[in-house]
A = this chain, B = another copy of it.
Amino acid sequence: MKSTAGHHFEDFSIGQRFAHATPRTLGQGDATLYLALYGSRFALHSSDAFARQLKLPGRPLDDLLVFHTVFGKTVPDISLNAVANLGYASGQFRGLVYPGTTVHAVSEVIGLKENSNRRTGVVYVRTEARDEVGRTLLSFIRWVMVRKRDPHSEPGEVWVPDLPESIAAHALHVPEEIDFRAFDSSLSGSRFFWEDYEPEEKIDHIDGMTVEESDHMLATRLYQNTARVHFNQHAQNQESHGRRLIYGGHAISIARALSFNGLGNALLLAGINAGRHVNPLFAGDTVFAWSHIVDKAELPGRSDCGALRLRLMATRNLSCGGFPDKDAAGRYPDDLILDFDYWAILPRHP
């Protein structure tokens, strides 16, 4: 058999490594399509002239475009048979990525745990992306629930990795080449700098974006993510919800684009502390978002920018004026779809 139906839980072992296939050169065309898919308005990714004012050679690619591309590479080896993408941790963006960069990805299995129902198990992998000369672009841990080939197969090794609750601010990578001192907040579209945000602040991003089947499939194919739940309605008709599931990363990018309204100067992603897709998103749903300022931190050696730790929360068909969140027992309401905890870098007041 020369084609593959993907790995099952039994196929993974601790320490197993994958050099993922299909290296991908990301170009300006990818950046354009990404922009059109989400309507993102962060000035750094929209304007070469704006990027040059910050001493960059031109617009870098959106951090999430790079993230999704790397994620997509891992799917054929890791999550083709995933039931659910459970979470992210320890994500670190290691440098700005420019058009023309070729992205390679490698992953290592760092945890395994069969579920008590015996039909699925959780696989933890650490993924690292490198460019064509071997420079690390980003790394992250994710864990997914993967079907077992056979519910009766013997449980194998069990190892649940100890994951940090967050990335320490001093461990964040801030691109050396960027200089925010000439930052123009009228062009950026937000007059709020790093100093203007305080922990515990909540921001309703107000706007809503309705998702169509065609949109999320176009995006997910752009990332060369082949997980079948996103594409194959004929197969999904057999599932209880009967729908194509939207790639979780699509929801992250929609929420991030919406967050421009209130966080227009949160230009760079520096780290992913944690992330969970807490409910599924389907075509026809309208996504709303709000942000919770969790923490703020100075950045070593930088007086021109600072870091904000943010929880980006997204809902379906529910405005976020009431800041919907998990309850005291940690249960998420049905309308919440995303709880994404990340570090962003913002310019400081000049």
B-facing mask of A270-303, CB < 8 A → 1, else 0? 0000000000000010101000000000000000
Q: Are B47 and A24 in contact (CB under 8 A)?
A: yes
Contacts of A219 in B (CB 8 A): 36
Q: Are B2 and A192 in contact (CB under 8 A)?
A: yes
Contacts of A228 in B (CB 8 A): 207-208
Q: Are A235 and B264 in contact (CB under 8 A)?
A: no
Contacts of A43 in B (CB 8 A): 21-23
User: Which residues 242-267 in A have Cβ within 8 Å of B in the complex?
Assistant: 244, 261-264
Q: Are A221 and B36 in contact (CB under 8 A)?
A: yes
Contacts of A158 in B (CB 8 A): none
Q: A203-B2, A208-B228, A224-B41 are in contact. Are A23 and B46 (CB under 8 A)?
A: yes
Q: Are B3 and A22 in contact (CB under 8 A)?
A: no
Q: Are A207 and B226 in contact (CB under 8 A)?
A: yes
* 28 pairs, CB–CB < 8 Å, chain A vs chain B: A2-B192, A2-B263, A3-B204, A19-B187, A21-B43, A22-B46, A22-B188, A23-B49, A24-B46, A27-B32, A28-B28, A28-B29, A29-B32, A35-B221, A35-B222, A36-B218, A39-B225, A39-B231, A48-B132, A104-B187, A207-B228, A208-B228, A208-B233, A209-B232, A210-B232, A210-B244, A232-B286, A234-B286
Chain A contact residues: helix, strand, loop or mixed: mixed
B-facing mask of A31-42, CB < 8 A → 1, else 0? 111011111011
CB distance from A285 to the nearest CB of B (A): 8
9 closest A-B pairs (Cβ-Cβ)? A21-B189, A3-B262, A39-B221, A29-B32, A234-B286, A29-B29, A214-B214, A208-B232, A23-B47
